[in-house]
Structure 1
Amino acid sequence: MSHSVAGEPPSAGRRAAPLTTAVYSAAEWDLLVSLPGRVLVATAAPDPGRPDRGVRAGLAGLDAVAAGRASDSDLVRAVVAAIYARHDGASPPAERRTDLVDVLAACRTAGRVLGRRADPADSAAYRQWVQSVAARVCRAVPGPGERRADQPATPADRRFLDRLGAALGLG
């Protein structure tokens, strides 16, 4: 993992996609690259006790994914680069399930993959980044007359984020 002081530009030798991505099988890499989007969709989906988030939440989630480009983690930056590279006009990937049970299972699987193959600091950075995608979606500013941005998340949102964090091995 490469480190930089907050606010400093990345070093000139910083790679967009580290050579370490070669340690993952194609299926493992696909899981790591697809998981942030699956978490975004699952978080934005309406659920009992959690409102339909709408466009603002989706945009907040996309912004959180893009924020990974500035990560100190080579792995997170490589995953973000791969996410953007997938949108090169190629045909879309096969449909993926985004219900909560499947997403939580995918998070647990990703945690096991990272535990076996990733540098511990990169593993932690990736898991925290994926959690931050969900947190930003939950904090998205709703439309007029709805909950204000500075109010705490709903109890259902907190339970959702706690379950996601546990599946990612963060709690």
Structure 2
Amino acid sequence: MRRPAFGGSPEADPHNLPACAAGYSATEWALITDLPARVIVLATRPGPDRPDPGMAAGLAGLEAIAAGLAFDSDLVRAVVATIYSRHDEVTPTAGPPVDLVEVLGACRAVVRMLDRRADPADSAAYRQWVQSVAARVCRTGSQTRPEDSLAPADRRLLDRLGAALALG
């Protein structure tokens, strides 16, 4: 049986988790593995003070997820492997609506879980990786701005994500 898609039922296959996920329930593992996609959706959403970042920003987010395979963290690599193992089940309409409050709450929930169960180095690597996914999306969406300049809305988003992920 395959793992559930983003927003799917995590109880669909609680026994098909990577070894790194053994300390987590299927619901907790789904929250950990869904967070990067939620961050991409949030970071690519246009707003009143933020123009549409375009398809390139979403693709940059997917590339940033894939870059997790090169991380020196069993947790990050297991999350990426889980995401890839269910790629054929993810559809553009899958999952609940994503908004800033929901994503920040999910970040804080994941941080609490990782603080209780993960190796501190793996926890730090995961949190930095999720932030790097958002940063890559925001940088790509801001390419029309002067070099090394993020839109103020992107800077605020990254700052709030960093705080929710307990970075810095």
Say yes or no: TM over 0.5: yes
Tell me: CA distance 1:142–1:153, structure 2 relative to 1, closer, same or farther (3 Å).
closer
Q: After TM superposition, list the pairs within 5 Å mapping 1:141-156 onto structure 2.
A: 146-148=144-146, 150-156=147-153
Q: Is 1:61 equivalent to 2:61 in the alignment?
A: yes
Alignment size in residue pairs = 151
CA gap 1:50/1:91 in 2 versus in 1, 3 angstroms:
closer
The separation in 2 between residues aligned to 1:159 and 1:90, in whole angstroms, is: 32
Where do 1:67-106 residues align within 5 Å? Answer: 67-87=67-87, 89-90=88-89, 95-106=95-106
Runs of 4+ in 1 over 4 A off after TM superposition: 90-94
**What is the TM-score with the length of structure 2 in the denominator?**
0.83
Structure 1 stretches lacking a partner, 5+ long = 1-16
| Shift in alpha-carbon separation, 1:19–1:97, aligned structure 2, 3 A | same
- Structure 2 residues without counterparts, runs of 5 or longer: 1-16
Question: Under a length normalisation based on structure 1, what TM-score does the superposition of the two structures give?
Answer: 0.81
Say if 2:142 and 2:150, in contact at 8 Å, map to a contact too.
no
Aligned equivalent of 2:162? 165
Residues of 2 paired with 1:27 and 1:127: CA distance?
19
Q: Tell me how far apart the structure 2 counterparts of residues 47 and 141 of structure 1 sit (CA, whole Å).
A: 13
- Residue 36 of structure 1 contacts residue 130 of structure 1 at CA under 8 Å; is this kept in 2? yes
Q: Kindly, what percent of the aligned residue pairs are identical?
A: 63
